[in-house]
Amino acid sequence: MDVTTYANATVLCRRLAGRLSDGVLEAVRVYYFVGEGELADASLLLGLAMEDVQITPAERDLIRAVVADPRAAEFEDLRVVDEPDVPVYDFGQVGPPAAPDPARADDVLAVEAGRHRVISLHRAWRSSRDDPGTGTWVYVAVVGGSADELGVHSALSSRLGVAVRVAWPIEVVTAVGEPGSYQHRALAGAVRVS
């Protein structure tokens, strides 16, 4: 994968956060980072179709610029609309009483973040307005403009999975430029961990 395609994959993953399920987006990010483009492409296209995620024409064009086969039959299954329905989430600094304790994850991720030159690490409780009884912790790592967002994401998420045995979503955004709306809302509702 060339540098431009990798950069487009990074932008695409950032744009689909909060719309594509956490598990599918995690797989797509990791596959692109480790160079498994075919697996990433298949996970992305199948996930978008199976989860009926609406995308804009610009996002469809971005997907075509990323995948190996921009004329793949799976493009016929994508829902392209001018104004996609976007799930609405609330982000807060504390979770409900039944939420898992994030203290160990905070400690593990703070140490790992230091190894990858993360400027700041934040955590928020994410709940859906459509189903407020469900939710999860979400982490946002702010990195410098030259950082490899997919690489930092893979390092943090793999460390979280191995050390704490949880798969909470992790977003990585650059300190340079405006983060996407999902990441911006998560960061605005978060508490700083490190």
| pLDDT at residue 81 in the model | 96
Rounded distance between C-alpha atoms, residue 56 and residue 82, angstroms? 5
Residues of the chain with pLDDT under 50: none
How much is the pLDDT for 34? Answer: 96
pLDDT tens, 45-63? 999 999 999 999 999 999 9
Maximum CA extent, the chain = 49
Q: What is the pLDDT of residue 175?
A: 78
Report the pLDDT value the prediction gives residue 132, as an integer from 0 to 100.
74
* DSSP letter assigned to residue 76: G
Per-residue pLDDT, 180: 67
- C-alpha to C-alpha distance for 121 and 94, rounded to whole angstroms: 16
Residue 176 has a pLDDT of 67
Residue-range domains of the chain with CATH: 3-80 (no CATH), 89-192 (3.30.70)
pLDDT at site 8: 96
Please state, in angstroms and rounded to a whole number, the distance separating the CA atoms of residues 70 and 189. 37
Q: Given this model, what pLDDT does residue 130 score? A: 84
Given this model, what pLDDT does residue 17 score?
95
DSSP states of 46-66: HHHHHTT-EE-HHHHHHHHHH
